[in-house]
């Protein structure tokens, strides 16, 4: 498993990612069309494969995208337009992506644009409480990717997330992994 930032993740990086996957996958309705934004090599799409009818992986770097017949990889900068048509996606995921973006507001507007009416967004991002912990793990102990952590632009509190996702209905913001991660879910009105 890799991200667009690091060549290989440590076993600690992989464990944290799998815990995110377990939290998110149960929220994905069976038979949906899913776009995983910031997909890396397509690992989450493969993890969720039994739940989706078609999966789009979107990432800034074209990589060795490993997937099934129902997966399509699209190269795209998430700070700009997502290369998918309006109203075509049932679920958009973005796992540990928001904190890496220069223009998270553009990304959220693009998610809203590509979702069908009633479609869902499911995102995760480290909470502000995570910053000292993950910096310790990356810079001092060296058990998670330093390169990934150095690329974090900001950590969002609940009020900032509510403002950012204001156009979504049924918005939920909850913390998991001992409060170090934030799960954001919402539905397009």
Q: What is the pLDDT of residues 125-140, one digit of tens each?
A: 999 999 999 999 999 9
* Distances in whole angstroms, Cα of residue 34 to Cα of each of 26, 63, 96, 99, 143: 13, 19, 17, 21, 31
Q: What is the pLDDT of residues 92-114, one digit of tens each?
A: 999 999 999 999 999 999 999 99
* pTM reported for the whole predicted model: 0.93
Q: Which domains does the chain have, with CATH numbers?
A: 11-188 (3.40.50.150)
d(CA 182, CA 131): 12
Handedness of CA 105, 109, 110, 115 (dihedral sign): positive
Low-confidence stretches of the chain (pLDDT < 70) are 1-8, 62-67
Q: What is the pLDDT of residue 8?
A: 64
Q: What is the pLDDT of residue 9?
A: 75
Give the pair of three-digit tokens for residue 2: 């890799």
């Amino acid at each position: 498993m890799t991200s667009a930032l690091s060549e290989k993740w440590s076993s600690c990086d992989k464990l944290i990612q799998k815990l995110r996957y377990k939290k998110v996958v149960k929220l994905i309705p069976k038979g949906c069309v899913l776009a995983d934004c910031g997909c890396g090599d397509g690992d989450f799409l493969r993890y969720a494969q039994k739940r989706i009818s078609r999966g789009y992986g979107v990432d800034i770097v074209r990589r060795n995208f490993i997937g099934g017949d129902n997966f399509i990889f699209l190269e795209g900068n998430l700070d700009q337009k997502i290369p998918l048509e309006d109203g075509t996606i049932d679920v958009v995921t973005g796992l540990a992506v928001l904190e890496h973006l220069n223009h998270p507001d553009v990304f959220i507007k693009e998610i809203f644009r590509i979702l069908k009416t009633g479609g869902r967004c499911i995102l995760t991002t480290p909470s502000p409480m995570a910053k000292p912990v993950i910096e310790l793990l990356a810079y001092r102990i060296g058990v998670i990717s330093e390169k990934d952590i150095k690329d974090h632009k900001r950590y969002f509190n609940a009020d900032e997330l509510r403002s950012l996702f204001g156009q979504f209905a049924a918005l939920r913001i909850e913390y998991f992994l001992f409060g170090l991660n934030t799960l954001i879910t919402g539905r397009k009105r």
